[in-house]
Amino acid sequence: MLLLKVLVKNAFRHRLRTLLTVVGITIAILAFGLLRTVVSAWYAGVEASSASRLVTRNAISLIFSLPVSYREKLIRMPGVKQVSSANWFGGVYITEKNFFPNFAIEPKTYLELYPEFVLDPGEKEAFLHDRKGAVAGRKLAQRFGWKVGDSIPLKGTIFPGTWQFVLRGIYRGAESSTDENQFFFQWEYLNETMLKTVPRRANQVGIYLLGLTNPNMAAEVSRNVDATFKNSQAETLTETEKAFQLSFIAMTEAIVVAIQIVSFVVILIIMAVVANTMAMTARERIGEYAVFKTLGFSWWHIAGMIFGESFFITITGCALGIALTFPVAKSFGQQLSSFFPTFNVVRETIYLDSAAALVIGLVAGIFPAWRAVTIRIAEGLRRIG
């Protein structure tokens, strides 16, 4: 306790300088934490991917569809226990600013394949038996104030027209990383409309989703699927759900790398600021350190005081920065829900914040400690006053 009291008193000899340094560290740790949260949010879909699910799409491009007739062949393949499908609908709610992912799905099999979307049994039954029924994520429903039973119109961009849906359920995520900003409706409703208006676009699905009996069979099943439809009217590309999600990340890889670089540049800048503060502090106290030496204090006592003060300042700023990261990230997450379905501060971010603070404290104290330890007593005493 005595040592801590000495460190606190030393740290606040120059209160304004110390407070400004602590504020700088707080802002740096906050910025670092938010930038790392953006990176983790970017990869949230990848981390939430299941090893027991495969995605089959058109080999040419994701924008090309697959025939609905493929489903019967897929379900009979060894290693496949369930097959579902999904179409990206691309509907707009009121204005283009109200963007959110919306899909036409085969509801029964889709919900079986994605148990992380937790739906009340009564709402699930209502959804399954209503051709125009839809379900929305909890965060999405909160965003627009939707309630079960509301009529929700979506203006089609890929599929023209205004489509009317009845909200039959609001799902919640089984995990904190589960996307609760999606909107699902029945593929049959979409297909029936296409049969009446644009027959050539009917009986088509965007992707097939395959549930495996054993995740270790993913590579084998993928090869079998693609071999089955080789040289057909629509060749396929089958990959794990994680690989499918990573293909989207790869499109924006340069942005992710830039954010990661900026996050570490922030730490380097604040490291230089703290190092300058500690250098100024040590220079002002050279005479005191010389007196300590004459009294018999060893080098590690002097180095310990300098490093202790450096760590006290950086840890204080780090603690404040981490404490502010959670409310600020929550506010950002609400504003960026259209782009990042989950925007949570993960445990790894806190570990990185703490590690960054320790590195800053260590590096900032190295040169002042070395200077104080190596200076001669006579030279140090000449600086008194």
Dihedral angle of Cα 181, 186, 187, 192, to the nearest 10 degrees: -140
Q: Are residues 20 and 65 in the same domain?
A: no
Q: Is the pTM of the predicted complex or chain greater than 0.85?
A: no
Residue ranges of the chain with pLDDT lower than 70? 1-4, 6-7, 10-11, 44-48, 251, 284, 288-289, 334-341, 380-385
Helix 347-374 with 299-335: angle, nearest 10 deg: 150
Indicate whether 136 and 264 sit together in one domain: no
**Cα atoms in the Cβ-side hemisphere of radius 13 Å centred on 193:** 15
Exposure of 245 in the CB half-sphere (CA atoms within 13 A)? 16
Encode pLDDT of 79-131 as tens digits: 999 999 999 998 999 888 888 899 999 999 999 999 989 999 999 999 999 99
Name every residue whose Cβ is closer than 8 Å to that of residue 198 and which is 6 or more positions away in sequence: none
Q: What is the largest CA-CA distance in the chain?
A: 97
* 203 and 333 in a common domain: no
* CA atoms of 300 and 322, how far apart (whole Å): 31
**Domain-located, residue 204:** yes
Residues 177 and 203 in one domain: yes
Same domain, 95 and 33: no
Together in a domain, 163 and 191: yes
Tokens of 117: 């979307």
Residue 209 domain-assigned (yes or no) = yes
> What is the DSSP pairing of strand 151-155 with strand 207-212?
unpaired
Residues 173, 289 within the same domain: no
Q: Give the DSSP letter of residue 217.
A: G
Same domain, 151 and 297: no
| Residue at 102 is within a domain | yes
Domain containing 348: what range?
2-44+252-381
Number of structural domains in the chain: 2
Which pLDDT value is given to residue 364?
84
Q: Does residue 211 sit within a domain?
A: yes
Are 136 and 165 within one domain? yes
In a domain, 49, yes or no: no
- Establish if 74 belongs to a structural domain: yes
